[in-house]
Structure formats: C-alpha cells, structure tokens
Amino acid sequence: MYRGLVEELAQKNDSRILLAVIDGLGDISIEELGGKTPLEAAVTPEMDRLAAGGALGVHIPVARGITPGSGPAHLGLFGYDPVLYQVGRGVLAALGVGFELKYGDLAARINFCTLDDKGIVTDRRAGRITTEKCVELVGMLADIRVEGVETFVVPVKQHRACVVFRGDDQSDDIQDTDPGLVGHRPVPVEGSDKSRRVVREFLRKAEEILKGLHPANFILLRGFALHKEFPSIEERFGLTAAAVALYPMYRGVAGLAGMNVVKCDPENLSGQAKAVKKALDDGHDFIFLHHKPADSAGEDGNIQAKIRAIEEFDRALPSFLDSRFAVVCITGDHSTPCPMKLHSWHSVPVLIHGGPRRWGYSSAFSEKQAICGAMGTFRAIDIMPLLLASAGKLAKFGA
C-alpha cells in the first residue's frame, strides 16, 4: 500500500517465522463434495488445531478478479507487489535451475522442437525428449559464441532448457520465437538493436548444430527477460530467509527475493522437514516451505488427489512445527479450483498462529471459516507485514 513504509519500520530480533505455502490451495464449491472445497472435505486435524488457536483470514493474490501465475503469486506472498516487480519467465527459469544470474543478463526459455524440411514446426516439444537427451543437446549448444556477449545454455527438464546472454546494453523487448501452434514457422527476430542481433546469431548457429538430428532439430525461444535489480528480503525486511522448495520455479522466485535456496534430501516432505531444521540451525529466521501437489491435482481436475495432497501436508505438518518458530503461517499462493483445471482469482485462506492475536473465531482451516476469521480480507502483499508484526519485527509508526 505504502512503498517503503514496512522497510523503514522493519527491525531484527530473534523470532523465527515459517511461511508454508500449499500451492493452489484455494478452490471453489464442488458439486461432488456437496458444495465443499477440497480443503473443507479433507481431514486436517493438525491445521484445524492451529486454526482454533490462531487467526484466519483470506488473501487476494494480486487484485480482485486477477488470476496470477506462480511467479507473481509467490512474489506477493514474499511482500513484493507483483505488479511493480514484474519478472519475466526467462529469468525465473534460469534462477529456477540455480543459474547465478547477474543484473543485466538477458534470459529466455528454450523448447527443443521438431521442424519439417520446409522449416515448419511439427512438434513444439520435440516429442518430449528425455532430460538426458536435453543435457546432451545443451552440451552441443554450449559451444556457441556470439560477438558482444557471453552465452550460457542450461538444461531444465525434458525438452526445456534456457539460455542466458551476458553483456552490456541488452534489451528484453523481443517477441517469443515460438509460434504457439504447430504448422507455422518459428517467429523470426527482426530488428537491429544489439539483443536482436545477438539472438538472431545464436539461433542461426543453433540451427547449424541441430540440423539433421531427430526429433529435436531446432529450438524455440520464449519469455525473454532482463534480470533487473531486485532488492532482497534481507535488505527490505531484515530477514535471513531460506527456501525449502522442490520445484525449480519456486526455488527460482525464492532466489530472486534473495532467499537461500537449500537442498532437500530426499526430495519429499520428510526431506523438506529435515531441511527446515537445518535452515534454522544455520541461523535463518524466515523459512519459506513449498508444497506443490495440491496445485498439480487442481490443474488435473483431480478432486481426490487434491484432497490427498492437502491431507498429506497436514500429516507432515508436525514435522515442520519446530519449537523455534514464533509465528507460523499456512496459506496458498492462489486458488487452483479442480472444476476449472486452472489457476483462478479466488481468495485464498490464510492461517497465522503465534504472536499476539485474536483466537477462538474458527474451528477448522477452510475457505468458509477463513472469510469470517479474525483477520478479514487482505492482499497477499499484506501477509509479510502481518508476519513481521506478529514476530515483533516492526517498529511503531509515528508517535
């Protein structure tokens, strides 16, 4: 609401905060569940206990009616107004695989694709080649040299990779070369500014290298984005933050906010629980914990899988509730209603436990109870100030 006010008032202390995000948590009333949402239908004794002793509310991810992508939704939760801090997909993809971007780098997502002999795209994903194949092809592209920039090509997963151009005076005003549909040629990069020349040259050399291979014989570029200066959560709020997330996208956004993206071994909830403890041992006072499966189930329209994903988180919850946390927040980044199979604009339940609060308003963690919870309705970017305040990390404004 007021740029800079929270930063001005932020103060360090020894309190630790857990922000647990169940991705795509919110949902809508579902006929098959008698009008309940998956969260309402799920058996969640641990979250219900926290709800009874904590304060509930709902957050609006960006603004009323606005459906956010995962990047903006998470930035909001971290206290970054997603409309002011717009981050391109290319940057998120590079950060997501742990590539150390520098300010001024130009990043884009790569899809390996299949062209026919007339240069028409016949498969935008080259038959979803294996990740091993992707690594091999990326190794071939890694040798490309383009004048005026350093070039980095990094594998992501299956047919996905990303490219980073490092050099002065770059611009991200470049359209996707992915035509979006098969049966079309890749969109050519026109224009004479430095970045367009660089990208054109890179594509020409990639074409030479991949020509004759099958099924991946060319690349499509999407989501060109400059990595612009981004204030860290430490600079802004004085938090030493760790991200305990398994998926590249979320690791990427957390890295963008300056969180230390930690290793989880094994890559599941129990590995995440161990990572949380270790991050606390290592002196972090803010932990972002990310649980993906609820969102994936919502995107699949799989109601029972979404219920199971929520229940699975609930069962694991005690393993995350380290006694060193003064404040625990559980929420989603956005709603992913099963009947829509998409992200949506609907509000998302928020639970805050710990710190001075009004309790006794709720008996369970649910959309229905959250809307009449003690905290009311607020924007996602208000969550961070509420957590800081609850942990005693915000000084008084004015006398």
Contact residues: its own copies, CB under 8 A:
1-2, 5-6, 9, 28-29, 35, 37, 58, 62-72, 82-83, 86-87, 89, 92, 223, 337, 339-340, 342-347, 356-361, 367-368, 371-379, 382, 384-390, 394-399
DSSP tag of 41: H
Nearest-angstrom CA–CA distance, 243 and 240: 10
Min separation Cβ 347 and its own copies, Å: 7
Q: 79 vs 4, 29, 208, 239, 290, CA distance in Å?
A: 11, 29, 45, 12, 16
Beta carbon nearer to its own copies, 122 or 377? 377
Min separation Cβ 360 and its own copies, Å: 4
Beta carbon nearer to its own copies, 111 or 114? 111
Min separation Cβ 340 and its own copies, Å: 5
Min separation Cβ 66 and its own copies, Å: 5
Q: Is 179 buried (19+), middle (13-18) or exposed (0-12) by CB count in 10 A?
A: middle
Helix (H) or strand (E) holding 131: helix 131-141
Beta carbon nearer to its own copies, 231 or 376? 376
Listed in sequence order, the residues at least 6 apart from 157 whose beta carbon sits closer than 8 Å to its beta carbon are: 131, 134, 248
Nearest-angstrom CA–CA distance, 43 and 304: 12
Beta carbon nearer to its own copies, 151 or 344? 344
Beta carbon nearer to its own copies, 218 or 237? 237
Beta carbon nearer to its own copies, 12 or 358? 358
Min separation Cβ 136 and its own copies, Å: 28
Strands 325-331 and 348-353: antiparallel
Residue 396: HSE in the Cβ half-sphere, 13 Å Cα cutoff? 2
Min separation Cβ 326 and its own copies, Å: 14
Q: 174 vs 84, 144, 169, 189, 193, CA distance in Å?
A: 21, 20, 14, 7, 10
